[in-house]
Structure 1
Amino acid sequence: MKKLILFSIILMSSFVMLSAQEGLKKFLYKGTIDKFPVTLYLQEDTSGCGPKFYHGMYKYDNLSKWLYLEISDDEESRLVMIEGGITGIISVKKIGETLKGFWISPDGSRKLNVNLKEVPTTNRVMKSYDDRYDEVNYEMNDC
């Protein structure tokens, strides 16, 4: 009887973990902020019964380290991404496979065009971004 209960618990927890992963979509975007090439990694979590949740990071290619993003959205496919430490804000509209909008400095004095396009990738390549996001998220949110 104990083995049956233990097996049931393991089976149920495996189902919960699998269900959570099924609702997680991952995207990789490349493009520019002003004239600077950038890469954006974005996770869209639809595993709950409520709204979508987003997580992400981006970097200026060959110029910066990964920057953690706190992300909110609305019903009109707009995303507002606030850089960790509030060093900038990215406001974009999702149109098909593209994100278009602006990067705005915290004081509002600078506004740069953002143009990003989703790029196809493999699970193997995306794994390296997943691992890096976990590190960036931990660095930003570790108590």
Structure 2
Amino acid sequence: MNKLIILISILFLSFGAKENSITNSKIEGQTENSSLNSALSLNKNILYKGTLNGNTKISLYLKEQEHPCGGSMTMLNAMYKYNNHNKWLLLSITTDIEKKKYCMVEDNFTGVLFLEKDGDYLKGNWVSPDTKQKYKIELKKAELNKIEIEKLDEILFDDLLYNKNDC
């Protein structure tokens, strides 16, 4: 009889261990998925389209991604172009994300964009380096598909940033 009780106890204990193992693997899988989802949510690709000075059509591409140092920091890269030209201009960004304000300086300091985010809109001004010219900017978030994101990322990273930082 004692042997039967011991055998039953061992079976119940091993069943409980398997149950805990399954539960732990589910929790680990959920943790990995939530970590992956939070990392993916940090990678934002946003295209804005609108006008400069009310009539010149422009596009601005903003890429936010996880900072290599980790934590809650992110990196912002951006470029914009006049829609009647093929050349994109690299922008260096300083921001106060909490206040939704951006200062974007054109590469080689040919102009500065001061923008404020309001929902799906970016509004502000483009200012010349000598501050004598100032034009109103109004941009609205546009839809992007995966192919467009890949193409814009290639221009931003492979062309603009690589060429700027290449020795």
TM-score bucket (shorter structure): 0.7 to 0.9
Q: Indicate whether 1:28 and 2:51 are aligned.
A: no
Shift in Å at residue 50 of structure 1?
A: 4.0
What is the match of residue 140 of structure 1? 164
Would you say the 8 A contact 1:38–1:59 is kept in 2? yes
User: Any idea what SS the aligned residue of 1:133 has?
Assistant: helix
- Residues in 2 aligned to 1:20 and 1:43: alpha-carbon distance in whole angstroms: 14
Please list the CA deviations of residues 60-114 of structure 1 after superposition, one character each: whole Å capped at 9, or x if unmatched. Answer: 0123511000011113100110000000000000111100000000010011000
Give identity over the alignment, percent. 36
Tell me which protein shows more strand as a share of its residues.
1
Aligned length: 128
Larger Rg: 2
- Residues in 2 aligned to 1:118 and 1:138: alpha-carbon distance in whole angstroms: 26
User: What code does the residue aligned with 1:37 have?
Assistant: K
Q: Indicate whether 1:84 and 2:107 are aligned.
A: yes
Would you say the 8 A contact 2:127–2:134 is kept in 1? yes
Would you say the 8 A contact 1:28–1:121 is kept in 2? yes
User: What code does the residue aligned with 2:95 have?
Assistant: D
Shift in Å at residue 137 of structure 1?
A: 1.0
Shift in Å at residue 138 of structure 1?
A: 1.1
Range with bigger deviation, 84-93 or 38-47: 38-47
Where does the alignment leave 5 or more consecutive residues of structure 1 unmatched? 1-16
TM-score (norm 2): 0.70
1:42 to 44, 47, 62: 62
TM-score (norm 1): 0.81
RMSD: 2.1
- Residues in 2 aligned to 1:84 and 1:120: alpha-carbon distance in whole angstroms: 26
Where does the alignment leave 5 or more consecutive residues of structure 2 unmatched? 1-35
Please list the CA deviations of residues 24-72 of structure 1 after superposition, one character each: whole Å capped at 9, or x if unmatched. Answer: 2110111011121001110112453244321110000123511000011
User: Any idea what SS the aligned residue of 2:99 has?
Assistant: coil
What is the match of residue 118 of structure 1? 141
Moved over 4 A (4+): 17-22
User: What code does the residue aligned with 2:61 have?
Assistant: Y
- 1:138 to 1:21, Cα distance in 2 relative to 1, 3 A: farther
